[in-house]
Amino acid sequence: MIQQELIQENELKEMRQVYAETLLELATKDSQVIALEADLMSAISTNKMKSKIPDQLINVGIMEANMMGVAAGLSLTGRIPFVHTFAQFATRRAFDQLFVSLGYAKLNVKILGSDAGVTAEHNGGTHMAFEDIGLMRLIPNATVYEASDSTMLKALLKQSYEEYGVHYIRTIRKKAVKLYSEGETFPKGKGKVLREGSDVALIASGIMTAEALKAAVELKKQGIEAMVIDMYSIKPIDSELLVEAAKQTGKVITIENHNVIGGLGSAVAETLGENYPVPIKRMGIREQFGQVGLTDYLKDYYQLTSEHIVKEVRAFL
Amino acid sequence: MDLLEELEQIRDEIRLWTLKELDHLGFGHYGGSLSIVEALAVLYGDVMNVRPDQKEDPDRDFFILSKGHGGPALYATLAVKGFIDYEWLYTLNQNGTKLPSHPDRNLTPGVEMTTGSLGQGISVAAGVALSHKLAGRGSYTYTIVGDGELNEGQCWEAIQFAAHHKLSHLFVLVDDNKKQLDGLTVDICNPFDFVEKFRAFGFEAVRVDGSNMREIRQAILTGKKQTEKPVAIILDTLKGQGVPYLEEKADNHHLRPSKQDQAAIEEAIALLEKRATKEAVK
């Protein structure tokens, strides 16, 4: 079941625990599954699995470029590598390796980019990826997801395991706001309508989905009906749903914890521009780098809270 | 025919067809293709377990040409070995070809990995070697890296990784032809002593005459006795190896031959063809 109203509670489990547990489950079931880490095992909680699957969890050390190459070599021999590091290392640091040795070579790899955007918090500007989705979208045939809660993360990991190819899953490490009940499915190339509405469509992903829902609840009090879509599958994107939402509302706002160039906002604007042009506002990072700070502070700083969304909607209508 | 004679014949064939395909195209990486001919002859002519009719055999040995710009020599080798038709060689780098300048695993039978962005193939080779080790397979993984390619930091990441994981079935052959695109390696970024460097990184390392197939083969056989360390074989080579005119030419990394170059290349082709005919008669 999809939660129509925002559940204010955080989940019981951190996203990193879900990653580690799902990986353990897959690795136990299939000896071809191998997890690669670049000295961030304890950050993503896979260190706790080491004794259970010693041969299927390799810490390569601080060498992301080599990690991508090793993943390619593992894939060449039929294995299914799951690679994790912080989003900026997984993408911009090792981009050519990812592009050539995995994408262009048409190999099979699952990449988890953690600490998405502002959730990199105290690691600051050097570690704050606002461009990872944009980079990954540029790799032909790569699949790009952003997970918004633990039910989704688990499902995306499992379906990426099932499907050959380059899959990138962007996530936060800590607790997300609970959005989905167990058993919910998240098909590739689809979005989830979390709330119907006819005045404006709010299209979000990751941690911004909960903010969009919160904004919709507030907007309803003000007499504005906002549709909310969790666009977890950023590539391929659900163009059918986007066109439908544009037809129903006539106005679209995208909200992302990412640069407005290259990410969700771009993907939505490109799709609607080609298929059903309507006025669009893109909320996200504009010509800025990251910085240190807590998530709440940074969300406010970059104008990504529900309050900012409400303000944006009112100005837009 | 003894093994060495057989290898000499394969070497000549590879060199002949490397020259023919580049000559047909009219330009290309002559220097670094010719410098790896002897190594390829030893690998594909003797030590490697690879056959065109068993391309997918999980127990086969793997070869990855990390210095992807040596592609023409690999293609010539694959033709000699029966993976592709000789006719294909005349399509090198032409529109729509299955033989692009840099190897592509999705286009050419026998090409195990897509390479060309330097530094990446050696990591992939390490991944393959790790996978085989984990599976308890006895097969070997070979990669040829360029001396210039070893400028790339990723190579040294892979080298550390391979040593740490004791990938004793990984052979890194360094084509030490002393030159990179812009000049001498020693002038651009001095590599110092490759043998010392590899040893310091935990490899078994040895330097051999890269034009001497007996030495290359012996180094591989000796390296196979290793059970703890990956093996680096530094091939002392020359850009343009085996074609005296090209060996002596200063700027021989990539060539768009002048009339004089062209005449020398065609002379080399004629010489190799004559030798090949003689060998066939024998």
| Confidence band of B281 (pLDDT split at 50, 70, 90) | low
Q: Any residues with CB less than 8 A from the CB of B277 and at least 6 apart, and which?
A: none
The pLDDT of residue B167 is above 60: yes
Percent of chain A residues topping a pLDDT of 70: 97
The ipTM, to two decimals, is: 0.95
Closest chain A residue to B64, measured at CA: A73
pLDDT digits (tens, 9 = 90+) for A108-167: 999 999 999 999 999 999 999 999 999 999 999 999 999 999 999 999 999 999 999 999
Q: Any residues with CB less than 8 A from the CB of A42 and at least 6 apart, and which?
A: none
Distance of CA A158 to the CA centre of its chain: 15
pLDDT at B277: 77
pLDDT digits (tens, 9 = 90+) for A202-245: 999 999 999 999 999 999 999 999 999 999 999 999 999 999 99
Sheet with A109-114, strands from edge to edge, namely: A57-59, A33-37, A80-86, A109-114, A166-170, A143-146, A233-235
Of A265-274, B161-170, B241-250, give the lowest mean pLDDT range: B241-250
The pLDDT of residue A3 is above 60: no
Mean pLDDT of B206-216: 98
| Confidence band of B111 (pLDDT split at 50, 70, 90) | very high
B130 touches chain A (CB under 8 A): yes
Mean pLDDT of B145-149: 98
| Confidence band of A303 (pLDDT split at 50, 70, 90) | very high
Which residues in A lie closer than 8 A to residue B170 (C-beta atoms)?
Answer: none
Closest chain B residue to A65, measured at CA: B154
Closest chain A residue to B131, measured at CA: A74
Query: How far is the alpha carbon of A266 from chain B, nearest alpha carbon, in Å?
Result: 29
The pLDDT of residue A6 is above 70: no
pLDDT digits (tens, 9 = 90+) for B78-101: 999 999 999 999 999 999 999 999
Which residues in B lie closer than 8 A to residue A70 (C-beta atoms)?
Answer: 123-124, 126-127, 130, 158, 161
Q: Tell which CATH architecture fits domain A15-170.
A: 3-Layer(aba) Sandwich (3.40)
Q: Which domains does chain B have, with CATH numbers?
A: 3-281 (3.40.50.970)
In terms of Cα–Cα distance, which of A212, A196, A202, A215 is closest to A251? A202
pLDDT at A1: 40
Nearest-angstrom CA–CA distance, A123 and A115:
10
Nearest-angstrom CA–CA distance, A158 and A2:
20
Q: Which CATH class for the A192-316 domain?
A: alpha beta
pLDDT at B46: 97
Chain pair A-B, CB pairs under 8 angstroms: 99
CB contact under 8 A, B130 and A58: yes
pLDDT at A8: 57
Which residues in A lie closer than 8 A to residue B130 (C-beta atoms)?
Answer: 58, 70, 73-74
Which residues in B lie closer than 8 A to residue A71 (C-beta atoms)?
Answer: 127
Which residues in A lie closer than 8 A to residue B164 (C-beta atoms)?
Answer: 61
pLDDT at B154: 98
The residues spanned by each domain of chain A are 15-170, 192-316
Same fold, A15-170 and A192-316: yes
Mean pLDDT of A7-15: 78
Cross-chain CB nearest to B124 (options A58, A69, A106)? A69
Which residues in A lie closer than 8 A to residue B132 (C-beta atoms)?
Answer: 77
pLDDT at B3: 95
Mean pLDDT, chain A, whole residue set = 96
The pLDDT of residue B280 is above 80: no
Q: Which residue has the tokens 């042009």?
A: A277
Cross-chain CB nearest to A63 (options B105, B106, B161)? B161
Cross-chain CB nearest to B114 (options A60, A78, A104)? A104
